[in-house]
Amino acid sequence: MLLDYLTSALVTLLVTVDPPGLAPLFLGVTRGMSDPERRQVGLRASVIAAAIMGASGLAGAQLLNALGITLPAFRIAGGLLLFWIAFEMVFGGRQERKGDAAEKAITLDHIRNVAAFPLAIPLMAGPGAITATILLAGRAGGDPLRLGVLLAVIVGVCASCLVVFYTASQVSRWLGVTGNVVLTRLLGVILAALAVQFVADGVKAISAA
């Protein structure tokens, strides 16, 4: 069971954050920076995103309780949100939306703040990633071991983003336009299936109540 939870958490967050898809966006928002500056931005963005997702996993359920929102209801809403993101990924809308957000941030914010916005938020720890983290924390059922696994997965996913940032130029050239498109579509289909599972679990929990 623990292995199943680890696999589910890893696949869900990897697909939602989509580290390979961040490579061209990272190059765009760090345009004009030197390699050391890019590495610093990538490191700061990864740390900020990990902190946000970790806090969401640990305190997100308590916040929902304070607002009077049940976890099954949030699971259904979150599953629908993840499905919408998956739909965008499959039909090509997500990358354009992320690109637009990145371009706006460059014109409005100083370059030294690019690590926090738009890289950490919303490109890495966006609504989809935060929703997925809260849902996965809910599936942990308060088990400290599973919560520890979730935090480790979050750190691992953000570390993979950092690796992508450090090798963004090489990754973008290696995948090419076609490779980026194919990978995004494939990840979108996987995320759609996971989103449907979240909705099904939420409906089942409400029906059993």
- Answer whether 64's CB lies under 8 Å from 74's CB: yes
- Answer whether 198's CB lies under 8 Å from 75's CB: yes
pLDDT in tens, 108-133: 344 557 888 778 987 898 777 888 99
Q: What is the chain's mean pLDDT, rounded? A: 81
Query: Which residues make Cβ contacts (< 8 Å) with residue 150, sequence separation at least 6?
Result: 9, 57, 133, 136, 137, 140
- Answer whether 20's CB lies under 8 Å from 168's CB: no
Report if pTM > 0.75.
Answer: no
Q: What is the DSSP letter of 113?
A: G
User: What is the secondary structure of 146-189 as a DSSP string?
Assistant: HHHHHHHHHHHHHHHHHHHHHTHHHHHHHHHHHHHHHHHHHHHH
pLDDT in tens, 176-202: 777 767 766 776 787 788 778 878 888
| pLDDT band at residue 106 under the 50/70/90 scheme | very low
Q: What whole-number percentage of the chain has pLDDT above 90?
A: 28
Q: Residue 150 to residues 3, 10, 50, 113, 189: CA-CA distances in angstroms?
A: 12, 8, 11, 28, 23
pLDDT (average), residues 6-14 = 94
